Amino acid sequence: MLKGQKIVVVMPAYNAEATLAQTYHELPRPLVDEVILVDDCSNDQTADRARELGINHVIRHEQNLGYGGNQKTCYRRALEVGADIVIMIHPDYQYTPKLCTSMVSMIAEGLFDCVLASRILGTGALRGGMPKYKYVANRLLTLFQNVMISHKLSEYHTGYRVYSRRVLEKLPLDNNSDDFVFDNQVLAQIIYAGYRIGEVTCPTRYAPDSSSISFARSMRYGIGVVNTSLAFRAHRWKLHASPLFSPLDGQAKSTGS
């Protein structure tokens, strides 16, 4: 716990048997109260390895629900076990768990409602192995979203995040995609509702055992990001109601035009 708040780590996992232990062992144990791993019908022994490591809650989907569908299960269980702050980190060791303490502190101290680990704030994204086409796409999509959403983040595409309980309780997560654009929709909802987002710089690690999506799925993700931004703007201007944002209208704070 930190300042009396229960800290729960969730790991949306798919074929993470080889890297799970390294990720798990670097979690700051005095800080983390419980760990939840959701195995999205992996082809390897991810769930068995998680149980061997002693992870508190291991859930295995009997069919693949997708990255977003996996996270929906993660957050439901985290709220069920009483989490006050939820850390979402991939078990493929692409992101270092050593940042958890700093990120959680920013929420526990009441400074932010969501904290992102940004690969772009520093200068090591390309040195860390991020493919050039992904880096360029990241920068272009982020620029587009900052303009369309009237916000300013260094990147919208990191898979390492920390959320306060109230954010996860209030967002209509079940209305979001079950695919990779889920993460992007969550950030758009957080901004629409007026919650505070902080960022910390995060080292980048791309290796053969890091999870990745194909170029075709990356293109589909990019289209989803554009559509999310357009839906945000259309909803804000009352041109077209979106189920991503309609449930937030009663609680949305002023976040700009």
Kindly state whether residue 256 falls inside one of the protein's structural domains.
no
Buried b (16+ CB within 10 A) or exposed e, 151-187: bebbbbbbbbbbbbbebbebbebeebbbbbbbbbbbb
- Checking if the pLDDT of 172 tops 80, the result is yes
- Checking if the pLDDT of 19 tops 80, the result is yes
* Domain hosting residue 80, numbered range: 7-248
Contact 185, 226 (CB under 8 A): no
CATH code (residue 221): 3.90.550.10
Distance, CA of 148 to CA of 127 (rounded, Å): 30
The letter for the amino acid at 143 is L
Structure tokens at 205: 């690690």
- Checking if the pLDDT of 83 tops 90, the result is yes
Kindly state whether residue 1 falls inside one of the protein's structural domains.
no
Label residue 255 by pLDDT band (50, 70, 90).
very low
Kindly state whether residue 162 falls inside one of the protein's structural domains.
yes
pLDDT at 122: 75
Q: Look at 111-115, 152-156, 175-179, 208-212 and tell me which has the smallest mean pLDDT.
A: 208-212
Label residue 257 by pLDDT band (50, 70, 90).
very low
For residue 12, give the 3-state DSSP assignment.
strand
Distance in Å from the first CA to the final CA of the chain: 38
Q: pTM to 2 decimals?
A: 0.92
HEC string of 47-104 equals: HHHHHHHCCCEEEECCCCCHHHHHHHHHHHHHHHCCCCEEEECCCCCCCCHHHHHHHH
Q: Look at 122-131, 155-164, 172-181 and tell me which has the smallest mean pLDDT.
A: 122-131
Q: Return the percentage of the chain with pLDDT > 70, whole number.
A: 93
Kindly state whether residue 30 falls inside one of the protein's structural domains.
yes
What total of structural domains would you count in the chain?
1
Kindly state whether residue 81 falls inside one of the protein's structural domains.
yes
For residue 44, give the 3-state DSSP assignment.
coil
Kindly state whether residue 104 falls inside one of the protein's structural domains.
yes
